Structure 1
Amino acid sequence: MSITSAGRPFRAPTTLSMAQRKATGIFTVVLLLTCLCLYIELNSVDFCIFCYKSEVVSFSLPFYNKSDAFLLLPDIDCQEIPPFLVILVTTEHWQLEARTAIRQSWGKERIIRDKRVVSFFLLGTLVKQNKKAEANIISESLEYKDIIQKNFIDSYNNLTLKTLMGIDWVHHFCPQSSFVMKTDTDMFINTFYLTELLVKKNRITNFFTGFIKSEEYPIRFRFNKWYTSKIEYPGKRYPPFCSGTGYVFSTDIANQIYKISPSIPYFKLEDVYIGMCLDKLRIQLEELHTKQIFFPEKVKFSVCRFKKIVTCHHVRPYELLLYWNTLLSSKDEECLGK
C-alpha cells in the first residue's frame, strides 16, 4: 500500500472475477431481452415509447377536396364515343418504364368485341418540389394525353385519395362509360378476356367484382405494411372488399361512391375504404366467373393459363411486354384439356 499526496492510502484497482463477469453478461442479456419484449408488446397494443405517434384519426370528408381543380386531364370525349371499359391505373412519378410497358400492351386503346377500352394513369404531386420531375410529367401528359392528376401528396397512404380522384373524374367526365377498373402498374390485365366476360355477364348496373376478401381482419402489428391502429379502424373485421390489385365495377357505382364518400370516415387502405362505401350502399360483391380469374399474386406464365385469367400481380415491365406479345401471337391457337 502506498500513500497519496493527500495522505490517504492508495489501493490498486482490482479486476472482476470470471464469475462476476459472467453474471454481469447474463444480467445484460436478460435486461436487453426484457426491453425488447416490452417494446414489441407495447407496440402491439398501439403504444409506442420511442416513436412519434402520427395516426390518422377517423374523420369525415372533406379529406378529399372535390372542389380542387384537376392539374392534368386526359384528352377524351366520352360523349362522342362512350368507352365500354375505363381502366384507372394508380402510378407514381418515377414509374415511367411501367407506364410505357402498359401503353404498349394492355393499356393501349383498342376495340374489343366492338367495345372501346381505354386506360388512364392516376397521379398525385411530389412531397418536395422537383421542377424537372414535374416538367417530365407535363411533357408525358402532352405526349400521351392519358394522365389524371390533382394536388395531393403522392404516397402509399394516399391511395384512397388517388382512387377517389379517379372516381371523381369518371363521375364528371366519363359517366357514359359502362365499366370502370382500378388497378396498379405492376399488373398484367387480360383486357380481351375481361371484356368478353363483362359482355357475357350482361349487367351494367350495381355490379362490383374482383378478388373478393370477405373475412379480413385489421393487422395490429406495427411493423407490417398494412398495420392499422385501433384509432384508425376500431372494428374487429373489415367489411367485404375486393383486392386493390384489380377490381371492376359498373359506372353507376362510381357515381354512387362519389356521392356517398363524404359520409364515410377516412381510411388509408383504399380497397378496404371502397368496401366500406359499398357496405354503406348495400352493394354486394359478385364473382365474374365460376373459376378464379383475378389473382392478387404472381401466376406462372403459360399461354393457355393467361388466356383465361383477368389479373396477375408482381409483373415487371419487361415481363409484361413478353407475356402480352406472346399472348397476342398465339391468340388463335387452341388450348386442349384443362
Structure 2
Amino acid sequence: MKVELIKNFKPTVSAPSPLKENGIRLYFWPTLDTREIQKRKMNFNPRQYPLGVDFSQLTKAVLDGKKIENHRINPHHFRYVHMAADKCKRKKLHLVILVKSKASNFEMRKAIRKTWGNITDSDITIVFMLGHIAGFEAKISNESDFYADIVQEDFIDSYKNNTLKTTMAFNWVSQFCPNADFNLYVDDDIFVNLENVKKYLKRKERRWGLFAGQLLRFSTPYRDEGSKWFVSWKEYPFDKYPPYLGGFFILMSQDVTSYFSTAIPYIKTIPIDDAYLGIVAAKLNIMPKSCPGLVRNMPGSVSYAAVPMNFKTVIGYHLITSPESLLATWNLYKYVTQPQFQVIEKNGKQNIQKLKGKNKEGMKVQLIKDFKSTVSTPSPLKENGIRLYLWSTLDSREVQKRKMNFNPRQYPLGVDFSQLTKAVLDGKKIENHRINPHPFRYVHMAADRCKGKKLQLVILVKSKASNFEMRNAIRKTWGNITDSNITIVFMLGQIAGFEAKISNESNFYADIVQEDFIDSYKNNTLKTTMTIHWAAQLCPNADFNLYVDDDVFVNLENVKKYLKGKERRWGLFAGQLLRFSTPYRDEGSKWFVSWKEYPFDKYPPYLGGFFILMSQDVTSYFSIAIPYVKTIPIDDAYLGIVAAKLNIIPKSCPGLVRNMPRSVTYAAVLMNFKTVIGYHLITSPESLLATWNLYKHVKRTH
C-alpha cells in the first residue's frame, strides 16, 4: 500500500533538468503555470517561483567573479540622479542607515536629521533613498548639494514602485559601502533608538547572516483591486507569502545585502517590497529573524505610551505621522534617557540646556503636552447623566494607508464600553446614536422555552431556514435532550416559500426562533445578533449559552464535564481560538470584507463561529454592546471585534475537531469520544446519524 501511494505521488512532482551556464552547472526546475498553482491552492514553493535555479550556486558563481548568462527576468535599468557616492568612501563603517523617503517629504527628512538621524558616531552614516517626482527636481538638487545624503534614481516615486526603491538601496549599498558591517533599512515615518540598535548589534557574536526585523508569518496577498497592497494572482499565484520582515525596519549584515543584490535580478518581482524580500530570502534559504523592541503603531496618548515606549528597550518605533510628532517623540526620548537636559529649538537650530531644580518637573509636563498634541485625545461626551469618552476615530482610508493593526479605540463607536455596559445594567438610558440597529421582527419566538426554568445551558443552533432534515436529525441524535436543566432552540432567518412548513415545524416542536431578515450567508451576523438578543432577553437566568452551527455534532456529556470544571459561572467566552486572521479582500469569496467595511490588516483574536460557549454575563454584555459596534458580514470575526471593545479575552476550548474526515472508519480513530467536545462539518443528516451511532457504540463498549 505504501509503495502504491508513493507511485501515485511521484508523477505529480518535477525532477530538475540540468542547464549549463558559462562553465557552471545550474539546475533549472520547470515551474508550473500560475493558473495551475492557483487551482491547487499551493503553499509558497521557492522552486516554483521564477527563476527556478539553485540560488546558492548562482550567488557563489557571481561572487566568484563568473558571468551568469541566464536572462535577467527582473532587470533594474534606472539611472542615478543623485548618488552620494562619497558617503562611505575610505571609511570602515559599522552601520549604514538607508531611509526610504518619498521625494516630496522634505520636512520629514529635515526632522530626522535634527533628531535621531543627527549622528555623531564616525562609524555610522545615513542616506535617504528617493524616486523621482516631477516638479521637485531643483529643490531635491539643492538638498543633495547641501546635505550630500540623497540617493535618487529616475523611476517614478510611488507606493507601487517601493520594490524599485528597495532594489536601488541594495544595489547602492553593495556597490558603494561594501566594507560596512551592517545595514539598516527603514521608512521615514519611524523613530530609531540608535543606542539600542548599537547594543543589539554588539550582542551579535558574528557579523554575517543577519536578516532581522518584525517577523510576519502566514500573511496573505491582498486580492482586492482597490487596495494599495493589491497583488494579482498572475503576479503571485500562491495562497500565502513566505515569512518576511515588515519593511519599516530591517537589519542586515553586509553579506546578506550582497546575496540579495546578486539574486534580485533573477527573481520575478511583485509591488510589495517587504513581501518580495521574503520571497528572495526563501530562494536564498535565508531565514528572517525576529528583532525585539519594535513597536508598530503610534499610541493614543503619552500616559499610555509611557508603558510600551520604554526607551531602555524600544529599538524602533513606527508610524510617526508628522515632523512635529517626531520632534515631540525625540524630546521625550531625550528627557527619559537624559532627564537633566532639555532640547530647545530656536531659529532652526537645536540647543541642549541643562535643567535646574523645579524646571525639571515643568519640562516633563511640557514635553508630555507637546507629545499629546501630536496624537488624538479623547473628547468628553455627556450622555443622560453619564460621562462617556468619545475617541476620535480615523477615516477608514487613513487606517488602510497606515497599515494599522486592529485598535478597539479606532473602531466605531469609539466610546468606553465598560462604562457603556455598566450604565445600561444600572438602568440608565444611553442617548448615543445606535450605529448598528437591529430593526427586524420575530416571526416565531419560542417565548416559553426558558420560562420559569433555572437552566444550566441553553443551546442555540444557527440553521438555514430550508435545512429541515438537518434539524430533524439533530432532534433525533445529540439534540434529543433529557436533562431538565438544558434546552435547545434553532435560529432561523426567512426564505420565501418555506413559511407554511416552518410554521408547522414551530407549532409541533416549539423550538424555532425566526426573524424576518433574509436567510443568507451574508446575513449570518444578523442571525448571531438575533441569537444573542434572544438568549439575553428570554433566558436571563441560564448559566451558560452554547452557540453552534447545524453541521456540528455536540458531545453533550463532555460539554457538561467542561462546564462542571469551571470554578465560576461568569466571564466565559470559549471555542476554537483563531489568531492573526486576515480579512478576505477577493470579491469572489463568500468571506469577502471590503476595506470600507473593515480597514485593518488583521482581525483581533476570535472564536470560530461553529462552536462558542458563553456564560450568561458575557451574552448580556454582547447584547448591550452590539448596537454600538459597527457591523461586518463575518459573524465570528465580528464577535471578536465586539469582545475586543469589551476587553473580553476569547479562550481556547479543548476537544474541538474542525473538519469532517472522509470516512467513519478513520473517524473512529480521530474521534475519541472521551475527549471530543464538538465535531464540525457534518455534511448531511445521514453523516450525523452515522456519527451518532458510532458515538453510542463507543459509549456502550468502553
**Structure 1 residue 265: deviation in Å?**
0.5
- Selected match of 2:667 from 301, 304, 313: 301
How far off is 1:298 after superposition? 1.8
Is 1:45 aligned to residue 225 of structure 2? yes
Partner of 2:531: 166
1:276 paired with 2:638, answer: no
| Displacement after TM superposition at 1:193 (Å) | 0.7
Name the SS of the counterpart of 1:306 in structure 2. coil
Q: Closer, same or farther in 2 for the Cα pair 1:203/1:42, shift >3 Å?
A: closer
The secondary structure found in structure 1 opposite 2:641 is helix
**1:250 is matched with which residue: 599, 611, 615?**
615
The equivalent position to 2:438 in structure 1, one of 65, 84, 89, is 65
Letter in 2 for 1:297: N
Separation in 1, partners of 2:551, 2:444: 23
Tell me, in whole angstroms, the C-alpha distance in 1 between the residues paired with 2:532 and 2:542: 12
**1:75 Cα offset (Å):** 5.4
Matches within 5 A, 1:293-332: 293-299=655-661, 300-302=666-668, 305-315=672-682, 316-332=684-700
How far apart are 1:82 and its partner, in Å?
A: 2.0
1:196 aligned partner, one-letter code:
K
Q: Which amino acid in structure 2 is aligned with residue 228 of structure 1?
A: V
- After superposition, the C-alpha distances for 1:31-71 in whole angstroms (9 at most, x for unaligned) are xxxxxxxxxx9963238xxxxxxxxxx987454426x4421
Does the CA-based 8 Å contact 1:124-1:150 persist in structure 2? yes
Greater alpha carbon shift after TM alignment, 173-182 vs 321-330: 321-330
CA–CA distance in structure 2, aligned partners of residues 42 and 305 of structure 1: 39
C-alpha change, 1:139 and 1:172, in structure 2 (3 Å) is: same
| 220-229 or 265-274, which deviates more | 220-229
The alpha-carbon deviation at position 108 of structure 1 amounts to 2.0
User: Are 1:109 and 2:481 an aligned pair?
Assistant: yes
Relative contact order higher in (CA < 8 Å, ≥ 6 apart): 1
Q: TM-score, normalised by structure 2?
A: 0.37
Name the SS of the counterpart of 1:198 in structure 2. Answer: helix
- On the 8 A contact 2:460/2:531 being kept in 1, the answer is yes
| Residue of structure 2 equivalent to 1:19 | none
Secondary structure at 1:163 match in 2 = helix
Q: How do 1:70-109 and structure 2 match up within 5 A?
A: 70-74=442-446, 76-109=448-481
Contact 1:201 1:288 in 2 (8 A): no
1:162 match: secondary structure: helix
1:119 has 2:488 as partner: yes
Does the Cα contact within 8 Å between 2:438 and 2:627 map onto a contact in 1?
A: no
SS in 2 for 1:278: helix
> Structure 1 residues 62, 144: closer, same or farther in 2, change over 3 A?
farther
Secondary structure of residue in 1 paired with 2:444: coil
Given that 1:219 and 1:228 are in contact with CA atoms closer than 8 Å, whether structure 2 keeps it comes out as yes
Matched residue pairs, number? 275
Q: Distance in 2 between matches of 1:74 and 1:93?
A: 15
Amino acid at match of 2:582: Y
- Give the counterpart letter for 2:690 in structure 1: L
Per the TM alignment, residue 165 of structure 1 is displaced from its structure 2 partner at its CA by 0.4
With over 3 angstroms needed to count, the CA separation of the structure-2 counterparts of 1:242 and 1:43, relative to structure 1, is: closer
Secondary structure (helix, strand or coil) at the match of 1:44 reads: coil
1:108-257 paired onto structure 2 within 5 Å: 108-111=480-483, 116-126=485-495, 129-130=496-497, 133-257=498-622
Deviation at 1:295, TM superposition (A): 2.1
Q: C-alpha root-mean-square deviation of aligned residues, in Å?
A: 2.5
Deviations along 1:127-149, whole A, 9 cap, x unmatched?
A: xx42xx10100000000110001
Find the aligned partners of 2:676 and 2:607 in 1 and give their Cα distance. 16
Give 1:317's aligned amino acid: P
Deviations 1:192-246 (A, max 9, x none): 1111111112331011110000211112222222122211110011011000111
| Residues in 2 aligned to 1:260 and 1:93: alpha-carbon distance in whole angstroms | 27
1:7-48, Cα deviation, whole Å (9 max, x unpaired): xxxxxxxxxxxxxxxxxxxxxxxxxxxxxxxxxx9963238x
Higher mean C-alpha displacement, 199-208 vs 217-226: 217-226
Q: Which has the larger radius of gyration?
A: 2
Q: Distance in 2 between matches of 1:295 and 1:277?
A: 25
**Aligned 8 A contact 1:82 1:116 in 2:** yes
Q: Which residue does 1:287 correspond to in 2?
A: 652
Counterpart-to-counterpart distance in 1, 2:514 and 2:454? 22
Cα-to-partner distance string for 1:107-130 (whole Å, 9 max, x where unaligned): 22221xxx722211111112xx42
CA distance in 1 between partners of 2:222 and 2:563 (Å): 48
Contact 1:243 1:296 in 2 (8 A): no
| Structure-2 separation of matches of 1:78 and 1:134 | 24
Tell me the distance in 2 between the aligned counterparts of 1:195 and 1:212. 20
Aligned to 1:264: 629
Identity between Structure 1 and Structure 2 (%)? 30
Q: Matched residue of 1:71: which SS?
A: strand
**Structure 2: any 5+ residue segments left out of the alignment?**
1-220, 228-410, 414-433
Q: Any gaps of 5 or more consecutive residues in structure 1?
A: 1-40, 48-57
2:584–2:593 CA contact under 8 A, matched in 1 = yes
* Secondary structure of the corresponding residue to residue 534 of structure 2: helix
The question of whether the paired residues in 2 share the 8 Å contact of 1:307 and 1:327 is answered with no
Distance 2:438 2:652 in 1: 33
TM-score, normalized by length of structure 1?
0.75
